[in-house]
Amino acid sequence: MTDTMARLDDVAIRRRSFALTDISLDIPRGAIVGLVGPNGAGKTTLIRTLLGLVTPDSGIGEVMGLPAGSPAALARTGVVLDQPAASPDWRVASIGRRLAPFYDRWDQQRMDDLLDRFAVPRNRRVGELSRGQGITLTLATALAQRPELLILDEPSSGLDPASRREISDVIREFMIDPDHATLFSTHITTDLDDLADDLVVLVGGRIARRGPLADVRDEYAVARGSGPHPDRGLIGVQRLGPQWSALISASETSAFGPDIVIDAASVDDIIIHLSIEHERSAA
C-alpha cells in the first residue's frame, strides 16, 4: 500500500490567459492538505487535473497509483465543489436511489445520518436549498460513496461559522481512518488552523511554499513600520499611505530596530505578501 494517495509530478498546463507551471504535489495517506492562494492562482485547475477534468500539457497525475480521472480512481474519491452536484430538479429524498447504482460501496445510512445531522429537508428540490444546505448535501453524497480520498474545493465559502465548524467536524471524523486523506482548498484560511497537517500556497500558477502548516507559519513573521522601509530582508512590501508591511524570515527579526513592529504571520499574511512579491518579480 502506497503512502501517497494522490500526486502531481512536474505538471504544466498552458492556456491563453493562464498557466500552471512545474506543479509537483503529494497528498500523503492520513493527512489533510490545505490548498490556498489568491483568486486566479490555479487552485481549481489543480483540483480538476487530479479529477481528470483537465489534461496537462506535460507531467502526470495519479490518484492511489491510478491515472487521474480513471474510473477506478474516481470510484475511490469523494468530491465536494462549491455547488451541489445533483440536478436542481431532483428532490433530496431521491438522490440516494438515483446515485446508488453507480457506486459499489454506496452507504445510504451514512447519507441519511448526515442529512439528519445538518437538517437538510428531504422533500425539497436541490435548487430550492440554501447554499449551506446544498453544500452539506454534496458532502453527504460524497461520503456516502465511502471514499478513501476526499477533495473539497471552497466548500465553506459563504457559510456561517457554525456551518463551517460542522464541515470541519465531519472532515475530522472522516480522517479517523488512517488510510484516508483530504485535500481542502479554501479562501477562509482560519478553517485550516486546527485542521490541516500540510499547507500548499499557490501563487501565479506556481507552488510558492509548501510544508507542514506549523512550519510554514513559523518560517515567517510580519514587519510593520512607517516612512521609508529597509532595503533588504522584506518580502512583498505592501504600502498603505505612509504605513508599510512585509513578510520577513522569522529567524531575522533581531535585525530590525525598535521602530519596526514584528508580529507572527498568519496564513493570510503569507498569501498576501507572497502574491505581492510574485507580481513585483513578474513586472
Q: What is the largest CA-CA distance in the chain?
A: 67
Tell me which residue range forms the domain holding 154. 4-215
Give the residue carrying C-alpha cell 498546463: 13
Confidence of residue 19 (pLDDT cuts 50, 70, 90): confident
Strand partners, 25: 8
Give the residue among 33, 61, 15, 53 at the shortest CA–CA distance from 175.
Answer: 33
pTM for the predicted model, two decimal places: 0.92
Cell of 213: 502548516
Per-residue pLDDT reduced to its tens digit, 38-94: 988 999 999 999 999 999 999 999 999 999 999 999 999 999 987 777 888 999 999
CA dist 198 and 186 (Å) reads: 13
DSSP secondary structure of 213-252: HHHHHHHEEEEEEESS--SSS-EEEEEETTEEEEEEEGGG
How far is C-alpha 161 from the geometric centre of its chain's CA atoms?
17
Rg (CA), the chain: 21
Per-residue pLDDT reduced to its tens digit, 80-109: 987 777 888 999 999 999 999 989 999 999
CA dist 148 and 61 (Å) reads: 17
- Whether 135 and 240 map to the same domain: the answer is no
pLDDT at residue 146, as a whole number: 96
- Give the count of domains, the chain: 2
Cell of 151: 477533495
Query: Of 171, 195, 215, which residue sits at a domain end?
Result: 215
How far is C-alpha 209 from the geometric centre of its chain's CA atoms?
14
pLDDT at residue 74, as a whole number: 93
Q: What is the CATH number of the domain that holds 16?
A: 3.40.50.300
- Whether 35 and 18 map to the same domain: the answer is yes
- Whether 62 and 195 map to the same domain: the answer is yes
pLDDT at residue 10, as a whole number: 95
Q: Which H or E run contains 212?
A: strand 206-212
- Whether 227 and 176 map to the same domain: the answer is no
CA-to-CA separations, 204 to 81, 133, 144, in angstroms, rounded = 22, 33, 35
- Whether 180 and 256 map to the same domain: the answer is no
Confidence check: pLDDT of 246 > 80: yes
